[in-house]
């Protein structure tokens, strides 16, 4: 369903309903219930929201949407398109048996081009859902404060049946850790959470403990030892570290083979590495002393991105930006080298007053 920005095609044909225009040409001379909407929903529209009759665009599009067809609606602004698509969605969702529940996940997604529209649609949706409290609306939009967005996601959206949360990168604050692992073990059920930590980051466990989250070490080496070695795996007499385990070595090889098979893939891995390191350097508060880039073995980090060597942290875009800045400075006559030239080689006139 497109709004505002995509009003190019017109497909809502008269075929669905013989809609007769009322005097002013905006409303249809039929009722909401005659369009096939659930009586409770029609009642909500008529009695509670005070809409006596559907608008023309609603009367034309609702029956077609209810029939399950794809619809593109093109109508002037303010003609009631919002209800034209929200009402059929609610009609379908309220009919589910057993009733839809927030733990079932997301059923419908409305994409709109602006924040204002997002709020408007949400407001209408809340009114329409007045009698259907088990259908939970939620919205996510850009430019919001992270905490606000998170609170709303916690309230409105849910990921059902998640049994295990695996975190390869450390969440920032302990509260964020709790929120992340809280995606599993919903409504009293059990769940598991795994967090990968490097030896230099072990102090993070103390921070989590302060906030009531105590983690047990997972004996990865022992677990790997339980896997039988395959024919092509390196034989090592005594495995003393995780990196020298045959399973880890062959997995690393396989990943590197995959990454280096295509330049595009290698670039993706490089970019991911650079972003990860930048994100790592952005930890705040007390965590700054735990997650210190200088303490990291960047070669090992690169390996974890299936790279054979550590990429430069000064990306091409940074290089381009620096070059552009220098060029601009030169054009503005601010760069010392250029000034020399501009002053006809008389460096004294610019470098010394």
Binding status of residue 34 toward ligand ATP by CB under 6 A: no
Binding part of the chain for ligand ATP, among 17-25, 51-59, 170-178, 300-308 by CB under 6 A, reads 51-59
Binding status of residue 51 toward ligand ATP by CB under 6 A: yes
Binding status of residue 28 toward ligand ATP by CB under 6 A: no
- Closer by beta carbon to ligand ATP, 49 or else 268: 49
Residues 77-106 that bind ligand ATP (CB under 6 A): 77-83
- Closer by beta carbon to ligand ATP, 41 or else 165: 41
- Closer by beta carbon to ligand ATP, 23 or else 332: 23
Residues sharing a CB contact under 8 Å with residue 202, sequence separation 6 or more, in sequence order: none
The residues pairing with 27 across neighbouring beta strands, listed in sequence order, are 55
Residues sharing a CB contact under 8 Å with residue 338, sequence separation 6 or more, in sequence order: 329, 330
Residues sharing a CB contact under 8 Å with residue 126, sequence separation 6 or more, in sequence order: 137
- In angstroms, give the least distance from the CB of 230 to ligand ATP: 60
- Closer by beta carbon to ligand ATP, 22 or else 94: 22
Burial class (CB in 10 A: 0-12, 13-18, 19+), 207: middle
DSSP-derived secondary structure letter, 295: G
How many residues touch ligand ATP under the rule CB under 6 A: the total is: 14
Element (H, E) at 255: helix 246-260
Residues 156-175 that bind ligand ATP (CB under 6 A): none
> Contact at 8 Å (CB) between 34 and 54?
no
- In angstroms, give the least distance from the CB of 302 to ligand ATP: 49
Binding part of the chain for ligand ATP, among 17-25, 53-61, 265-273, 278-286 by CB under 6 A, reads 53-61
Binding part of the chain for ligand ATP, among 71-79, 275-283, 321-329, 330-338 by CB under 6 A, reads 71-79
Count of residues in the chain: 353
Nearest by Cα to 180 from 188, 171, 192:
171
> Distance (Å, rounded) from C-alpha 273 to C-alpha 287?
20
Contacts to ligand ATP by CB under 6 A: 3-4, 51, 54-55, 58, 75, 77-83
């Amino acid at each position: 369903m497109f709004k505002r920005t995509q009003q190019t095609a017109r497909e809502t044909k008269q075929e669905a309903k013989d809609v007769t225009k009322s005097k002013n040409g905006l409303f249809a001379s039929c009722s909401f219930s005659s369009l096939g909407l659930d009586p409770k929903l029609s009642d909500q529209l008529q009695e509670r929201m005070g809409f006596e009759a559907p608008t023309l665009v609603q009367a034309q599009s609702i029956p077609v949407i209810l029939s399950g067809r794809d619809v593109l609606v093109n109508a002037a602004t303010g003609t009631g398109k919002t209800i034209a698509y929200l009402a059929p969605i609610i009609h379908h969702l309220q009919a589910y048996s057993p009733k839809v529940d927030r733990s079932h996940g997301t059923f419908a997604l409305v994409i709109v081009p602006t924040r204002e529209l997002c709020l408007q649609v949400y407001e209408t949706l809340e009114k329409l859902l007045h009698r259907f409290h088990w259908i939970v609306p939620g919205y996510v939009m850009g430019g919001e404060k992270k905490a606000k967005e998170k609170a709303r996601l916690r309230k409105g959206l849910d990921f059902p049946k998640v049994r295990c949360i695996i975190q390869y990168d450390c969440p920032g604050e302990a509260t964020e850790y709790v929120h992340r692992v809280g995606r599993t073990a919903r409504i009293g059920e059990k769940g598991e959470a795994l967090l990968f930590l490097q030896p230099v980051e072990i102090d993070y466990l103390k921070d989590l403990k302060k906030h009531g989250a105590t983690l047990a070490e997972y004996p990865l080496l022992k677990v790997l030892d339980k896997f039988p070695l395959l024919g092509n795996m390196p034989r090592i007499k005594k495995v003393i570290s995780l990196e020298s385990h045959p399973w880890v070595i062959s997995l690393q090889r396989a990943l590197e083979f995959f990454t280096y098979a295509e330049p595009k893939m290698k670039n993706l891995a490089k970019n991911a590495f650079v972003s990860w390191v930048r994100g790592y350097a952005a930890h705040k508060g007390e965590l700054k002393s735990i997650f210190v880039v200088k303490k990291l073995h960047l070669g090992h980090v690169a390996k974890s991105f299936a790279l054979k060597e550590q990429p430069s942290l000064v990306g091409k875009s940074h290089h381009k930006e620096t070059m552009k800045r220098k060029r601009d400075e030169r054009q503005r006559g601010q760069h010392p080298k250029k000034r020399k030239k501009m002053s006809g080689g008389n460096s004294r006139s610019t470098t010394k007053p």
